[in-house]
A and B are shown apart, each in its own frame.
Chain A
Amino acid sequence: MSGAFRVAEGGRVDRARPVRFSFDGRAYTGLAGDTLASALIANGVHLVGRSFKYHRPRGFLAAGSEEPNALVRVGAGTARATPNLRATQVEVYEGLVAESQNRSPSLAFDLGAINDLAAPFLSAGFYYKTFMWPSWGWKRIYEPLIRRAAGLGRAPEAPDPDCYAQRYVHCDVLVVGAGPAGLSAALAAAEAGARVIICDEQAELGGSLLDETPGSAHAAWLARTLVALAQAGVRMLPRTTAFGMFAQNFVALAERVTEHLAAPDPRQPRERLWQVRARQVVLAAGAIERPLIFPGNDRPGVMLAGAARTYLRRYGVRPGARALVVTSSDEGYRSAIDLAQGGVDVAAIADLRAQPAAALADAARAAGLTVLPGSEIEGTSGRLRVRGARVRRATGGSAEIACDLVLMAGGRTPSVHLFSQSARKLSFDEATGAFVPDDAGGAIHPAGACRGVMEIDAVLRDGAQAGALAAQRAHLPTSAEVLRTVAATAEVTAVPARKPHARGRAFVDFQNDVTTKDIALAVREGFVSVEHVKRYTTVGMATDQGKTSNINALGLMAEARDTAIPQVGHTTFRMPYTPVSFGTLAGAARGNLFDPVRQTPIHAWAEAQGAVFEDVSLWKRARYFPERSETMHQAVARECLGVRAGVGVFDASTLGKIEVVGPDAAVFLERMYVNPFRKLGVGRTRYGVLLREDGFILDDGVIGRIAADRFHVTTTTGGAPRVLAMMEDYLQTEFSDLRVWLTSTTEEWAVIAVQGPKAREVIAPLVEGIDISPAALPHMSVREGRICGVKGRLFRVSFTGELGFELNVPADDAQMVWDAVWARGQDAGMVAYGTETMHVLRAEKGFIIVGQETDGTVTPDDVGLGWAVGAAKPDFVGKRSLARAAMKDPARKQLVGLLTQAPARVLEEGAQIVADASAGRRSLGHVTSAYFSACLGHSVALAMVSGGRARMGESLLVPMPGGDVTVRVVAPVFYDPAGERVNG
C-alpha cells in the first residue's frame, strides 16, 4: 500500500490514512505522518538528488534538518513552489508535488555528471586558477557558464500570493528544542511558575523520544509530559525553528503554519516569524550524528546510522534490505542492534577502532551480529545505489560485502549553533570529539546533548535542572540557586576524522562536494586559518552550514597540519540555522507597505492633472505636468517659460518645517546656523545655512521671524528629520541652558508657491489683513494673516529669481486655497509646474540644492555662500572647522557655471571635468547640475571645479564616451545676474 519497504507495524505514521503524492512526475503513496523522505524510502526511492559540483547521484544522508543531499522543490505552479527544501523536513500531504533539482534531463541520467569525470581539474579554488585567460574570456565565456551552473534550486517566478505574519512575545523561559532535555526543562520551569515557550523544528514535539517504542517507559514519559505542559499553559510551537539568537536573549523563530496542509485555510498566514524576548533561554538543540570519511561515502544508500534507526522506528520504514554498519563510536552498535531487531539484515559492524568497548561488542554478537574491529572501508560500489562495500580487516586482506545500505556512526556533534551565535565561547571536549558550550552561566542554559550529555536519563535530569535554574533566575535571581549536577561528559566516544588510506574520493561536505583532497590541497597551498580553508574549499558554506561536515573538516585540517582540533579552532556560526524564506522575514512589509508613502494635500489634484511623480525621500512629488502628448522636455520648457513670462504655481509642501520657539530662540539659531539671527527683525526672513561641526554644509532653508520668540524654519525636503534631530541633540546636550522648544510642523503647513511677474496680482484678492505692496512686503519678508479666509503665513521668497510668494496654509485647507489660486491664475495664464521646472529655474539663477551641488565635503565659501557666514559671531556649529587651513585652500572645488560650445548640448550630471586632452590628465571637478534652458535658448550647467572662481573664461573639457565636450567657465548665475526681477 504505502510502499514495499514499510514494516508491518510500528512507527508514528497513521496507517489508516494513505496520502498520494508525486516526485519527479511519478505517483507514490505514503502515510499521514510521513516526511517526503520516509515516504520515498518506503517506496524504495533513494536516488533523490544530484550533487552541486560533480552532479553525483545522491540519496538521503539524514532524517532531519541536517540533510545535505535531498533538496527538493515542493509545490506546483510558478508562485508557490519552494526550492531547496530538505525532503527530510517536508511533511507529505494529499496531492503534494515534489521535484528533484540540479539535474538535466533526469536524476538517473544527468548530463552535468560530465563534471564528475573532469573532477581532477575542478579541485578546491579551481575557479581562481582557471578562468584567467584570455582577458576577455571572463565576461564572454566563463561568467555566463558559471552563472548557469551556480545555485541549486530555481526560485519561484511569480510574486508570492501568500501572507506572512510576525509576532513579538515576551516570556520568562524560552526552551529551544523539544527532545528529552527540552521537554523536561520546560516542565521544570513551568512547575516553578515561569511563563514558558517551547519550540521545535519537527512536526511533533519529542525529538529523539519519538524514536522510542510505543509503550516503553520513555514513550510513556513523553505522552505524560506533553499533557502536563499543556495543562501548565506552556506555549508549544511545533514546526518552529529557532534560527537566530541575538543579544539579550532575543531569539527569532520561524513557524511553518500551513506548509504541511493539503488545503490550508486562506486566512492563515503561510509562515510566522516569532521575535521572542526571553528572560532566560534553555538551549536543548540536541546533537547531530557525524558521517565517516571513506571513498565512495556519498552513494545513495550510504546513510547515518541514527537516521536509519529513525526511519525504522518513527516512520515504520526499512531503509534497506541488507546493511553494513560502519562505526567509530559506541552508538553504531545500538543502532545496528535496533535495526536488526526491526528486520534489517545487518551484514556486519565494521568498527574503525581497533578496540571496541567489550560490552557492546558482546551485546552485538549476542544479537547474532558480526563485529569487525580495526576495519577500514576502502570503497563502495554501485552507480545509482550502493551495491557493496570493500572492507579491509585489521588482520589483513579485504573483502567485498554486498549490501544496499551502508550506515555511518561517527559519534554525535553537539548542536551549538545558537549558543555560539550569542557570542559565547566554545571549548573542545575530547570525549565527544566536538566543541561544546564553554559556560553555563548567565541567562542561557545549554542542556542535554547540545552540551555533550548523551545518556537519556542523564539528559532528562540535566534538562530538569536547567529548566528549574532558568525559572529561578527569571523570577528570584537573589535566592540560592538550583545546582546543576549532571556532568557534561559523553558516554559515546568517537575518534576524529582521519584521511582514508585508500584511493578514491571521500566526501566531507556533501552539499558543496568538498573532498578530503580539497582540504589537503588547501593546507598544502598555505591556507592555515580555519576561516581561510573554509572559504577556499567552500567546506561548510552550503545551505546546510556544515551541520554534518564541520567537525570532520576540522579533524582533517588538524591531521594535515599535524596538530589537534582545538589548535585549528572553529569557524563562526551564523544565523539562520536552516534557511528562512524571504516572505517570513518581510512579513507585511512589502509592496505598498514596504516603505511609508508621503503625499502632499495637493497630491490628488496633481494626479488628476496627469502629473508625472518622482520619489523624493519618502515623498511623492509632481515632477512635471505634461499636456496632451508632451515629452518631459517639452512640458518643462513650457512650464519654465510660463513662470518667467507670467506666473506659475508649485506645490512646495514637502519642505521641512520646524517651529523654533522660546525666549532664547534667536540665540539658539545663531549658534546653530552660520548666519546672524539676533538682529533679524520680526517679519523678516533670512536664507540660513546649517553646517555640521566639521564645517561642511548639512542643510539650508529660509528662516522667518514670526515674533521675537518665534521662528519658522524651513529645511530641504529630505533633510527635515536630520535637521530636527541635530537641533534636539545640541539643545538637549550642549546648549541645555537655552529655553527653546522645537516642533516639527512639516505636515502642519501646506506650501503653495506662486512665482512669476504676475504673482502679486494673482494672490492679491485672496489675502486679507496683509499689505502685499512691494514697499510693505519687500523680498525676504513674512506676514501672518488670512489667506482665502484661513489663518496662514505669507512668505515673500523666491527660488526662481522671479517675484514670488509662498502661501503657508493649514494642510486641511490646502486644496481649497490651491483651487482658489488656480482659478484666479487662469486669467494670468498660470502654469502648474513640478520639481523638474523648479530645478531648471533655480539652476538658471545659480541657486544650489543641498545634496546636488554639495556632497558632504563642501563649505559655504565653496558654493559662493561665504557672504552668509556671520564671521563676527564668536561661535556657531562648524565655525572652528572653517578656520582650518585646508578649508581656505584656493585649489578647493568651487561652484562655477559651464556653457557648452554647442549650445544645444546638455552635459551629463556627474561627468568629470579636465583641463586638456593630454594622456595623464586629472579630474578638476565634476558637473553637478545640467539642463537645457528654454528661457535662454542654450544649455546651462553648474559644476564644482578646483579653483573655479579663478578660471572664469577658461576653456575646459568634459570627457564623454563620444569624445571630449568643450565648455567655458562662467559665473554660476545665467539669468538676470543683477537680481532685479525678484523686486518686481
Chain B
Amino acid sequence: MLLIPCPYCGPRPELEFAYGGEGGIARPADPAALDDDAWGAFLYHRSNPRGMHVERWRHVHGCGRFFNARRDTVTDLFACSWKVGEAAP
C-alpha cells in the first residue's frame, strides 16, 4: 500500500485515495475549436512513462480534495505533491 502525501492532510495510506489519472492535462477552453485529432489527443493520449509521472489524486476518504503529485512508476515512490492551482515544485 502506498503512502501518499496529501498536501492538505499529510501522508496517508493509499486506501483513503482515488487515483485521478495523469496530471497537467487541462480541458481545452473551447473544445469546438479543436479538430478531431487534437480532441482525440486530449481524450486519450497519455505519456505512460517509465519513471517520473505527474498525476492527480483525490483524498476521497479524507479532505475530499484533488491534488497533484509526482511519482516514480518504477519504485512507486512519491517525490512531491502540490495543491491544485500551485506551480509544480
Contacts and interface: CB of A to CB of B under 8 A. Distances in A.
Interface of A: 246-248, 250, 275, 277, 423, 693-694, 725, 728-729, 732-734, 736, 874-875, 879-881, 883-885
Contact of A250 (B3, B36, B58): B3
B65 A732 contact: yes
B21 to A, nearest CB: 10
B74 A423 contact: yes
Given A732-B65, A879-B31, A247 B36 contact: no
A879 B27 CA distance: 13
A879 B34 CA distance: 12
B14 to A, nearest CB: 9
Contacts of A875: 30-32
A734 B2 CA distance: 27
Contact of B66 (A423, A733, A874): A733
Interface of B: 1-3, 13, 18, 20, 26-27, 30-32, 34, 36, 39, 43, 56, 58, 60, 64-66, 74-77, 84-85
Contacts of A275: 1
A248 B76 contact: yes
A429 B82 CA distance: 43
B30 A733 contact: no
Question: Interface residues of B: mostly helix, strand, loop or mixed?
Answer: loop
26 contacts: A246-B1, A247-B1, A248-B2, A248-B3, A248-B76, A248-B77, A250-B2, A250-B3, A423-B75, A694-B43, A725-B60, A728-B64, A729-B20, A732-B66, A733-B66, A734-B26, A736-B84, A736-B85, A874-B30, A875-B30, A875-B31, A875-B32, A880-B34, A881-B43, A884-B36, A884-B39
A733 B84 contact: yes
B39 A880 contact: yes
A725 B27 contact: no
Nearest to B2: A247
Contacts of A881: 39, 43
Contacts of B1: 246-247, 250, 275
Contact of A732 (B3, B27, B84): B84
Ranked 5 nearest A-B pairs via Cβ? A247-B76, A880-B31, A732-B66, A248-B3, A734-B27
B40 to A, nearest CB: 8
Contacts of B2: 247-248, 250
Nearest to A728: B64
A641 B74 CA distance: 62
Contacts of B85: 736
A884 B44 CA distance: 14
Contacts of A694: 43
A597 to B, nearest CB: 19
A729 B58 contact: yes
Contacts of A879: 31-32
A874 B30 CA distance: 9
Contacts of B60: 725
A588 to B, nearest CB: 15
B39 to A, nearest CB: 5
B76 A728 contact: no
A111 to B, nearest CB: 47
Given A732-B84, A734-B27, A875-B30, A693 B65 contact: no
Contacts of B20: 729
A277 B3 contact: yes
B39 A725 contact: no
A524 B14 CA distance: 47
A738 to B, nearest CB: 14
- Select the residue from A423, A693, A733, A875 with max chain B CB neighbours within 10 A: A733
A651 B64 CA distance: 30
A795 B85 CA distance: 40
A693 B44 CA distance: 10
- Select the residue from A732, A736, A875 with max chain B CB neighbours within 10 A: A732
Contacts of B18: 725
Contacts of A693: 27, 43
A161 B26 CA distance: 54
Nearest to A880: B31
B20 to A, nearest CB: 7
Given A725-B60, A884-B39, 10 more contacts: A247-B2, A423-B74, A725-B18, A728-B66, A732-B84, A733-B66, A734-B27, A874-B32, A875-B30, A880-B34
A277 B75 CA distance: 16
A648 B85 CA distance: 52
B74 to A, nearest CB: 7
A729 to B, nearest CB: 7
A247 B31 contact: no
A462 B68 CA distance: 41
A181 B25 CA distance: 49
A333 to B, nearest CB: 42
A880 B32 contact: yes
B43 A423 contact: no
A733 B23 CA distance: 10
A883 B20 CA distance: 26
Contacts of A880: 31-32, 34, 39
A572 B63 CA distance: 38
A728 B39 CA distance: 23
A181 B39 CA distance: 59
B62 to A, nearest CB: 13
B73 to A, nearest CB: 11
A726 to B, nearest CB: 11
A733 B32 contact: no
A423 B27 contact: no
B83 to A, nearest CB: 10
Contacts of A734: 26-27
A877 to B, nearest CB: 9
Given A277-B3, A725-B18, A733-B84, A247 B32 contact: no
A694 B40 CA distance: 9
B77 to A, nearest CB: 6
B32 to A, nearest CB: 6
Contacts of B26: 734
B31 to A, nearest CB: 4
B15 to A, nearest CB: 10
B76 A883 contact: no
A885 B18 CA distance: 34
A736 B65 CA distance: 12
Nearest to A248: B3
B19 to A, nearest CB: 11
A728 B58 CA distance: 10
Contact of A247 (B56, B65, B75): B75
Nearest to A693: B43
Contacts of A874: 30, 32
A423 B13 CA distance: 20
Contact of A883 (B3, B32, B66): B32
Contacts of B32: 874-875, 879-880, 883
A507 to B, nearest CB: 37
Contacts of A246: 1
Nearest to A878: B31
Contacts of A883: 32
A728 B64 CA distance: 9
A186 to B, nearest CB: 23
Contacts of B65: 732
Nearest to B66: A732
Nearest to A692: B43
A736 B27 CA distance: 12
B77 A247 contact: yes
B80 to A, nearest CB: 14
A247 B18 CA distance: 17
Contacts of A277: 3, 13
Nearest to B26: A734
A736 B56 CA distance: 16
Contacts of A248: 2-3, 76-77
A734 B29 CA distance: 9
A250 B60 CA distance: 21
A231 B13 CA distance: 31
A172 B10 CA distance: 18
Nearest to A874: B32
